Amino acid sequence: MRNIKCLGMNAMLVGILLASIVLNVSAESILEQDEPDEADLQSTYSDSNLPKDIQDKVIDAIKVSALSDNEKKELIKNLKDIWSKKSKLSESEQLQVFDKVATIVREYLGIDRTDVVILWNVNSHSDLARTAGVKMGISSQDNQILYDNANIPDSWPRYWGDHYWFVNTNPRYGDGPYYANKYATDAKNNPAARYMYAAYSLHYMSDLSNPFHTSSSIIALFYHGSYETYVSDNWNSGYNFNRTIQDVNSAARIEITDPERNAKDLAARTNPYLNYILYKMISNPTRWKNDPMVISYTRNTLIYGIKYDMGLVKYITSP
C-alpha cells in the first residue's frame, strides 16, 4: 500500500512538473533547444500543397482581382495544375505563378494597407524595446522614449516588404534589415533624437523575430494575423510571452556590428520555426494554441528577438 501511495504521489508530482514546464519554462532552458527538430518539419504545407479551403480562398481572391477574365482563367488553371501535380511548368515558372498570386492575395486581405495592421500586437514592440534598454542600462527617461516610439513605424504608409526579410525566395528580399540599419545610423548620428530613432530601428529588428515576417509564401499570408493575435492574447497573461523576454539575461545579447546583416541573420534564425507552427495551425485549428512546441517555438523566436534588440541598443549607444 505504501508503494502504491508513493507511485501516486510521484505521478502527481510529475504532472505538476510537466505543467510548470509548459507554462513557466525559463528562458535559459528554452535556449537549450535552439532549432526545430527535423522530425517536426516533415509534415508541412506549402504553396504547391495548400489545404482545400485555402485553395478556394486563393481562387476567390483571383476572381475579384483586377486581372482580365482571360488572365484569371489562365492563372486559376495554372494553379489547379500545380496543386494536382499535373503542371508542365518549370519550377521557376511555378514560382512566378506563386509570386503573382501572392500579390493578389495581399491586396485581397488588405495586408498592404495601413488600416489593416499585421504586427506584433498589444505593446510587444514597446515592451521589447524598453526591455532591451533596461537590460543595457539606459536611463528611465530614455527607456520611456523607446517605449513610446517603438510602435510608430506601423502607423506609416506601408509597402510590401518594409517590415520583412524573405528567406524563402531566391534572391532573398525585403526592406526590414535596411530600415533597421538606417534608423540605427540615424540614432548614432543624432544624439538629440537618439532614442526616437533607436526605437524605430528596434521595431524593424523585432519584426524579424516573428517567423511570419520571414516568408513571402501564400499560405503564411492567410495565417499571419491569427498567429499575431495568439501572441497578443498571451503577451501579459496565459503563456505570458512578455515574461519570457524579461527573463533573458543581458549577457546573452547578440553583438551587433552591422545592423542590416545582423537583421538578416535574425530572420534566418526564426524562419525555421514557421513550418511547424503553420502545420499545427492548419492540421489542428482548435488546439494549436495549446501545442507545447508552438508555445516553445514562440518563446524561442522572442528570445532571439530580445537578444538582438539588446545588441542593437548596445551598438547604438557605443562610441
Residue 94, Cβ density class (10 Å: 0-12 exposed, 13-18 middle, ≥19 buried): middle
For residue 221, being part of any structural domain is answered with yes
In total, the chain counts a number of residues equal to 319
| Residue 257 structural domain | 117-317
Residue 80 has pLDDT above 60, yes or no: yes
Cell triple for 224:
499571419
Number of structural domains (the chain) is 2
Residues 216 and 190 in one domain: yes
Residue 44 has pLDDT above 50, yes or no: yes
176 has which bridge partners?
A: none
* CATH number for 129: 1.10.575.10
Residue with cell 535574425: 266
- Cα–Cα distance, 204 to 180 (Å, whole number): 5
Residues 231 and 248 in one domain: yes
Residue 249 has pLDDT above 90, yes or no: yes
CA angle at 35 for the pair 49 and 94, rounded to the nearest 5° = 25
Residues 156 and 241 in one domain: yes
- Cα–Cα distance, 132 to 13 (Å, whole number): 36
Asked whether the beta carbons of 59 and 13 are under 8 A apart, the reply is: no
For residue 77, being part of any structural domain is answered with yes
For residue 277, being part of any structural domain is answered with yes
Cell triple for 240:
505570458
- Cα–Cα distance, 128 to 303 (Å, whole number): 10
- pLDDT tens for 155-198 read 888 787 899 999 988 889 999 999 999 999 999 999 999 999 99
Q: Is 166 helix (H, G, I), strand (E, B) or coil?
A: strand
Q: Which pLDDT score is estimated for 120?
A: 54
Residue 14 has pLDDT above 70, yes or no: no
- pLDDT tens for 207-240 read 999 999 999 999 999 999 899 999 999 999 999 9
- Cα–Cα distance, 299 to 243 (Å, whole number): 10
Residue closest to 199 by CA, chosen among 105, 99, 135, 131: 131
Mean pLDDT (whole number) for 19-36:
46
**In one letter, which amino acid is 36?**
P
Q: Which pLDDT score is estimated for 26?
A: 45
Residue 5 has pLDDT above 60, yes or no: no
Asked whether the beta carbons of 204 and 179 are under 8 A apart, the reply is: yes
Residue 115 has pLDDT above 90, yes or no: no
Q: Which pLDDT score is estimated for 159?
A: 81
Cell triple for 95:
514560382
Residue with cell 515558372: 93
- pLDDT tens for 270-289 read 999 999 999 999 999 999 99
Residues 294 and 165 in one domain: yes
Residue with cell 551587433: 256
- Cα–Cα distance, 199 to 180 (Å, whole number): 10
State in Å, rounded, how far the first CA of the chain is from the last one. 70
For residue 164, being part of any structural domain is answered with yes
pTM, two decimals, is: 0.86
Residues 188 and 57 in one domain: no
Q: Which pLDDT score is estimated for 116?
A: 42
Residues 171 and 278 in one domain: yes
For residue 302, being part of any structural domain is answered with yes
For residue 41, being part of any structural domain is answered with no
Q: Is the dihedral of CA 214, 215, 219, 225 positive or negative?
A: positive
Residue with cell 507552427: 277
Residues 257 and 125 in one domain: yes
Residue with cell 502504491: 4
Residue 66 has pLDDT above 90, yes or no: yes
**How many other C-beta atoms are found inside a 10 Å radius of the C-beta of residue 127?**
21
Residues 164 and 208 in one domain: yes
Q: Which pLDDT score is estimated for 65?
A: 97
For residue 39, being part of any structural domain is answered with no
Q: Which pLDDT score is estimated for 29?
A: 44
- Cα–Cα distance, 202 to 195 (Å, whole number): 10
Residue with cell 501535380: 85
For residue 308, being part of any structural domain is answered with yes
SS3 labels along 253-274: CCCCCCHHHHHHHHHHHHHHHH
